[in-house]
Amino acid sequence: MTDTPFLAVDLPVLQANIARAQTWADARGLRLRPHVKTHKCIEIGRLQVEAGASGITVATIGEAEVFADAGFNDLFIAYPLWPHPDARARLAALASRRRVLIGIDSLDAARGWSGVGARALVEVDSGHHRSGVRPADAGQLATDAAASGLDVVGIFTFPGHSYSPTGRLDAALDEQDALAEAASALRGAGVEPVIISGGSTPSLEGTGFGMTESRPGVYVFNDAQQWELGSCTPDRIALTCHATVVSHAGGRLVLDAGSKALGADRAPWASGFGRLLDHPDARLVILSEHHAVADLVGEALPPLGSTVRVVPHHACNAVNLADELAVFDSGRRVGTWAVAARGRNS
Amino acid sequence: MTDTPFLAVDLPVLQANIARAQTWADARGLRLRPHVKTHKCIEIGRLQVEAGASGITVATIGEAEVFADAGFNDLFIAYPLWPHPDARARLAALASRRRVLIGIDSLDAARGWSGVGARALVEVDSGHHRSGVRPADAGQLATDAAASGLDVVGIFTFPGHSYSPTGRLDAALDEQDALAEAASALRGAGVEPVIISGGSTPSLEGTGFGMTESRPGVYVFNDAQQWELGSCTPDRIALTCHATVVSHAGGRLVLDAGSKALGADRAPWASGFGRLLDHPDARLVILSEHHAVADLVGEALPPLGSTVRVVPHHACNAVNLADELAVFDSGRRVGTWAVAARGRNS
């Protein structure tokens, strides 16, 4: 390969990640509803469903349309969608051919979605403080939304504060408490929560009680963030960016993969802008649009022109930059998968 | 418009930004060679050339190919490209039909590019410490590269350490010193630096002495980063992301534009993950893939379902996520421009 940078999937590692999460869910009697925003690939979604996933999670109507067109059913758009007229028309078309769930966190939105043919889950804030209602308020919204004609069938939360090196298991406990309180609020208001949905990759091992389904996304690939959070080991990282060493300026490794190939986000607690899979002590100390600079802390530098494997900080944002993923098995390229839902932000 | 989030260009502001930079360069007797990685749009490149730009700057061979196909000439790939066989074949094809400049910072790369038909500039590190040789070493590399058969015609630097609220004018001075030292080193080694190229948007107002050309990129749009650096005022911001208010959770504004529409990078000194153009006191306190949460610090929240204009932190990474830009004039949509070089990372 010379057309670096490009994203590569290690197929056996990917398959092991998929199997492991499914086994985890099965052992707890949970449905696994993987969030496909991480990979946006039809082929990977199919591997997840073949392994036992019951439905998928998406972030936008556009992602749902792409996966529906490929034959997927039981699509949860885990987002407080706003019922613009165009969005309503698209969702109605989708719900006429697929089983569709949406998120709501306001009565205004619930009223706007009434009659569109989708069922709804009330979003609950379990401590991430992004969107969602307080657990105690979930019952009121559920009954009001139901009274407005929406088919409310449960609750969901995203414990996003699990993205913390010291807080990921505490976030799992917060999630459990919030879902229990919200489920009780719904029952008290006369709405049975048939679906109680939670999950994030970092909180996965501490969660599962009181839920009916889990929606992890990143687990399928893992990334530098999960590695540093301790929610994966490097042998479970299935996505890397192959990059060429273009310079040894300043005694460091300058690679041709920058933020336009790797994604640009970096958690405040991260040790760098990503990691090198084969040089675990190295750190990416600079990330520009087309350069990553790695400090190899004393290790000999790989030669100019050689290829190294960069682990993106956040797999979801890296994949969203690529039109396709190169698929490898035991070091040999065995295929190419289109990132079918890339850029489908609405 | 209901298909939020989408990127929008304010055409009169864009045109004023282009004219202002050209006037700045003309007044100093400099060639302006805008970096088109910022916008990746043929139409914007044409506006820059019509205003007086002499050539363009790109980051990759792929970007150069897209602009060459559209008729642009005098393309500088301001990057220490590595001469893989495929890259050599592509560059040779490009150089056979267009005037092409490339960057080098090692003799290994210079040898590999010899005979390909492109001229070269030696990259000098002026304090950003990313790639490039020390100014004093530029003469040696220039003569060695010339001896290997490469047509070395000058030097270039990127004073990227200008991205600092307190350091942008110091970086301009560093750039001036480094280019002067490197130019002298080249002359001492018998290579005349016909092209002395520098420039970044934050350092622009403090720079220009001892250079023959400048390569700013972001100035064409500006962004939240430039606003906070003090290198633009908000009335000079030509690129925003139109986003819908989807929730008022927690008394804050939750928008449907996340890192997959805005880009995910954030400088350590930035006050948030972007700004709201019409609410200058607001701050984006959370940025997820499909949510931005804004704290409006006491201001009344725009209603659910309304549209707000988000200023991305870094325009270049935002544009690289979009397939097209919506063009507005006085609030009316007047066109659509394709992001023709989106994703051309190699």
For B5-51, what is the HEC assignment? CEEEEEHHHHHHHHHHHHHHHHHCCCEECCECCCCCCHHHHHHHHHH
List pLDDT tens digits, range A3-20.
899 999 999 999 999 999
Which element (helix H / strand E) includes A31? strand A31-32
Contact B305 A247 (CB under 8 A): no
B-proximal residues of A, 4-43, CB under 8 Å:
4-6, 37
pLDDT of the residue at A220: 98
**What average pLDDT score do residues B297-305 get?**
95
Structure token digits, residue B137: 């070493």
| pLDDT tens figures, A168-198 | 989 999 999 999 999 999 999 999 999 999 9
> Residue A79: which pLDDT band, with cuts at 50, 70 and 90?
very high
Residue A113 to residues A83, A85, A103, A122, A194: CA-CA distances in angstroms?
Answer: 6, 10, 10, 13, 20
Q: Per residue in B258-272, pLDDT tens?
A: 999 999 999 999 999
What's the token pair of residue B284? 């984006």
Residue B4: strand, helix, or coil: coil
Distance CA A246, CA A303 (A): 9
- Position B2 pLDDT exceeds 80: no
In tens, the pLDDT along A42-52 reads 999 999 999 99
Furthest-apart CA pair in chain B: how many Å? 68
Residue A1 has pLDDT above 50, yes or no: no
Across all residues in chain B, what is the average pLDDT? 96
Q: What is the predicted pLDDT for the residue at B189?
A: 97
Is the dihedral angle over the CA atoms A257, B286, A159, A30 positive or is it negative? negative
Helix residue spans in chain A (DSSP H): 11-27, 42-51, 61-69, 85-95, 107-113, 138-147, 168-188, 224-229, 259-262, 315-319
Closest to B101 measured CA to CA, from B200, B16, B31: B31
- Alpha-carbon distance values, A253 to A93, A243, B127 (Å): 51, 11, 17
CATH number of A12-219: 3.20.20.10
What was the pLDDT predicted at A6? 98
Whether B8 shows a pLDDT value over 70: the answer reads: yes
Question: What local confidence, expressed as pLDDT, does residue B307 receive?
Answer: 97
Segment A276-287 mean pLDDT: 97
- Contact between A293 and B320 using a beta-carbon 8 Å cutoff: no
Distance in angstroms (rounded) separating the CA atoms of residues B105 and B208: 23
Band of the pLDDT at A278, cuts 50, 70, 90? very high
Fold topology of B226-338: Lyase, Ornithine Decarboxylase; Chain A, domain 1 (2.40.37)
Give ipTM to 2 decimals: 0.96
Tokens of A97: 């051919």
Q: What is the pLDDT of residue B231?
A: 95
Q: Which residues contact B26 (CB under 8 A, 6 or more apart)?
A: B52
Which residues lie below 8 Å from residue A68, measured CB to CB, with a gap of 6+?
A: A75, A94, A97, A98
* pLDDT score of A7: 98
DSSP strands (E only) in chain B: 6-10, 31-32, 56-58, 75-77, 100-104, 119-123, 151-156, 195-198, 213-214, 239-247, 253-255, 274-276, 283-287, 292-295, 307-312, 324-329, 332-338
For B11-218, the fitting CATH number among 3.20.20.10, 2.60.120.280, 3.40.50.300, 3.40.50.720 is 3.20.20.10
Q: A264 CB near a chain B CB, below 8 Å?
A: yes
How far is the C-alpha of A269 from the C-alpha of B328, rounded, in Å?
Answer: 40
Tokens read off for B113: 């590019």
Residue in chain B nearest A104 by alpha carbon: B247
Query: Comparing C-alpha atoms, which of A331, A310, A306 is closest to residue B84?
Result: A306
Task: Give percent of chain B above pLDDT 90.
Answer: 96
- Establish if B93 touches chain A: CB-CB under 8 angstroms: no
Q: Measuring CA to CA, which residue among B42, B5, B69, B74 is closest to residue B241?
A: B5
Q: Which pLDDT score, from 0 to 100, does residue B208 have? A: 81
Average pLDDT over residues B168-188: 96
Whether A75 and chain B come into contact, CB under 8 Å, resolves to: no
Beta strands B31-32 and B213-214 are parallel
CA separation, residue B97 to residues A23, A206, A271, B100 (Å): 58, 61, 45, 9
Put simply, the answer to whether B3 touches A346 (Cβ < 8 Å) is yes
How many other CB atoms are there within 10 angstroms of residue A260's CB atom?
25
The alpha-carbon gap from B141 to the nearest alpha carbon of chain A, in Å, equals: 13
Token pair listed for B160: 């990227």
- Mean pLDDT over the full length of chain A: 96
Calculate mean pLDDT across residues B191-212: 93
CB atoms within 10 A of CB A332: 8
Instruction: Give which of A123, A130, A342 to mutate to test B binding, by max B Cβ within 10 Å.
Output: A130
Asked if B302 and A324 touch (Cβ cutoff 8 Å), the reply is no
Residue spans per domain, chain B: 11-218, 226-338
Is pLDDT at B205 greater than 90 in this prediction?
A: no
Look at A84 and B130 and tell me if their CB atoms are within 8 Å: no
- Interface size A-B, in CB pairs within 8 Å, comes to 185
For chain A, positions 268-287, list CB contacts with chain B under 8 A.
Answer: 286-287
Confidence of residue A207 (pLDDT cuts 50, 70, 90): confident
Query: Residue A2 pLDDT > 60, yes or no?
Result: no
Does B159 contact A at CB distance below 8 Å? no
Beta-carbon count within 10 A of A244 CB: 23
Q: What is the dihedral of CA A329, A330, A333, A336, to 10 degrees?
A: 20
Please, are residues B254 and B272 in contact by the beta-carbon 8 Å criterion? no
User: Within 13 Å and on the Cβ side, how many CA atoms surround A338?
Assistant: 7
| Min Cα–Cα distance to chain A from B255, Å | 10
Give which of A37, A24, A33 is closest to A221, Cα–Cα: A37
Which residues from A are below 8 Å from B254, CB to CB? Answer: 80, 130-131
Q: Return the percentage of chain B with pLDDT > 70, whole number.
A: 99
Whether residues B293 and A130 touch (CB distance < 8 A) is answered with yes
> What's the distance, Cα to Cα, between the start and end of chain A in Å?
34
